[in-house]
Amino acid sequence: MNMKLLLKSIMGLALTLALTFVLSLGVNFAANGARASAPAAAADPAGAALEQLEHLRRAQPDESLDHDAQMDWYQAHVIELCLAAEQVIKRFPEDSRRWRAVFVYDSCVSKLQRITGTHKYSADALMAQALEADDIRDEDWALIKSDEIRSQFSSVSAVAADGETDPLAAVRREIDVLAARAPDAANLPILEVWYANALGRRDPPLRKAHLEQMSRSANTGVADMGTGILRFMRMRETPMEVKFTAIDGREVDLRDLRGKVVLVDFWAMSCGPCLAELPNLKAVYEKYHDKGFEVIGIALDGPQHKQRLQKFVAERQIEWPQFLDEENKRNRLAVRYGITGIPAPLLLDKEGLLVHDKARGEVLEAQVRKLLGS
C-alpha cells in the first residue's frame, strides 16, 4: 500500500485524537528530545534529529496504565513515530544516515496497516449490525448502505467467469435496495455513475445507455447527474455554454470568448492537486493571455466560502474570473456538465468545443500553444 495514501486515509481524525491522547499522558517526546540535544543539533542537525527519532522509537508507556490505555498509547505512538521519521527523511535527503529513518518509517507504517486492519474488521462487523438494526434512522441506514456499496465496486472491474456470480450484478441489486428504502439518498447519484462507468469498462455503449436511463429517473439528483454527463459527452461536437457573474462582479459569457482558447477550470481551495497546479496555470496564463488564451475558474468550495475565496484570489494574484454558486449546495455548472471530481480542467478550442479534459502540467502549455497556432 502507498504510504502517503495510508497516512492520509487515517490521520484526519485518528491523528488528532492520537496526539491529543499522547499529550494527555504527558509524553511530549519531541520537546524532551529537543531540550536534551539542543547543543548537538547546532553542530550536526541530522545526527540530532536521528537521535531524537531513536529516543522516540524506544519510548514506552507508563506502566501504571491499564491494558486498554496502553494499547491506545501504542497506537498514538506509532502515528507520531511515522510522522517524525517522515520529517527526518524530508529534511535530510542527502544525508546517508537517512536510511535509518526509512527503516523506522517502513516499520511503523507496517504497524499502522495492522492497526487499521483490526479496526476495519471491527468497523465491518458494526456496519453489518447497523444495516439490520431496528432502531437505525433511515438517513443513517442510507449512509452506511451507500458506504457498503462503494466498497463493493473494487471487485467489479473484471467480467465474471462462467459459473461465477457476477459481482456487478450483485452491486446492482444493492443499489436497488438502497433506492427502494431511501429513494432520495444523497449518494445515490454518484453510485449510479460508478455503476455506469463499470458497465462502460465492459462494453462502452452500455455506459451511455445507463446514463440515458439515469436522465429519466424520478430522483432529481440522479436525473441531473445523468443529463450532465451526457451533455459533457457531447462537448466535442456542441460548444460549451457558461454564463455567470464572477465574485468580483465581472460578467462572463463563454459565447463572448469565441475565437479564443479557453480553459474552464473546475477546482476548489480544498483540492490539493488543484493548488499544486496553480503555479503552472498562472505561468501559462501569463505567457499566452495576450495571444488569446483565457481562463475561467469554477470554484466548488460551497456558497459559504465567498469571502475566503475572494481573499485567496487576491493573495495568490489570480487574474481570471471565478464563479462561486451562492444559491445551491452543489455548483450548478458542475451539475450541468456532470463534473464528479476535481481537478477538472476543460480546454476549449476557439469554437468552444472540448479538446482536452485533463489539461494540466506540461500538457496544458503544449495544447494551448497548438490551439493558438503559435
What does the longest C-alpha to C-alpha distance in the chain come to? 75
Residues in contact with 338: Cβ distance below 8 Å, sequence separation at least 6, in sequence order: 193, 225, 226, 227, 228, 229, 230, 231, 232
Which residue type does 270 have? Answer: S
Minimum mean pLDDT among 38-42, 96-100, 106-110, 134-138: which range? 38-42
Q: Look at residue 292 and give its three-state secondary structure.
A: coil
Rounded-to-5 percentages of helix, strand, coil across the chain: 65, 10, 30
Long-range contact set of residues 168-177: C-beta below 8 Å, sequence gap at least 24: 168/195, 168/198, 168/199, 168/202, 171/195, 171/198, 174/145, 174/148, 174/149, 175/149, 177/145
pLDDT tens for 131-164 read 888 888 888 899 889 988 988 887 665 454 444 5
pLDDT band at 23 (very low <50, low <70, confident <90, very high): very low
The predicted structure's pLDDT at residue 35: 39
pLDDT band at 329 (very low <50, low <70, confident <90, very high): confident
Give me the torsion for CA of 99, 104, 106, 110, rounded to 10°: 170
pLDDT tens for 52-82 read 998 998 888 887 888 778 888 888 888 899 8
pLDDT tens for 85-102 read 889 888 998 888 888 888
Mean pLDDT confidence for 111-123: 73
Q: Any idea which fold 243-372 has?
A: Glutaredoxin (3.40.30)
pLDDT band at 351 (very low <50, low <70, confident <90, very high): very high
The predicted structure's pLDDT at residue 21: 39
pLDDT tens for 176-224 read 999 999 999 989 999 999 999 999 988 899 999 999 999 999 999 999 9
pLDDT band at 119 (very low <50, low <70, confident <90, very high): low
Whether 357 shows a pLDDT value over 60: the answer reads yes
The predicted structure's pLDDT at residue 20: 40
pLDDT tens for 157-179 read 545 444 455 778 889 999 999 99
Mean pLDDT confidence for 251-277: 94
The predicted structure's pLDDT at residue 197: 93
The predicted structure's pLDDT at residue 234: 95
pLDDT tens for 272-315 read 899 999 999 999 999 999 999 999 999 998 888 899 999 999 99
The predicted structure's pLDDT at residue 13: 38
Mean pLDDT confidence for 252-271: 95
The predicted structure's pLDDT at residue 313: 95
Minimum mean pLDDT among 2-16, 186-200, 228-242: which range? 2-16
Separation of alpha carbons 85 and 102, rounded Å: 7
Residue with the larger pLDDT of the pair 363 and 62: 363
The predicted structure's pLDDT at residue 207: 95
* Domain spans, the chain: 3-124, 138-233, 243-372
The predicted structure's pLDDT at residue 1: 39
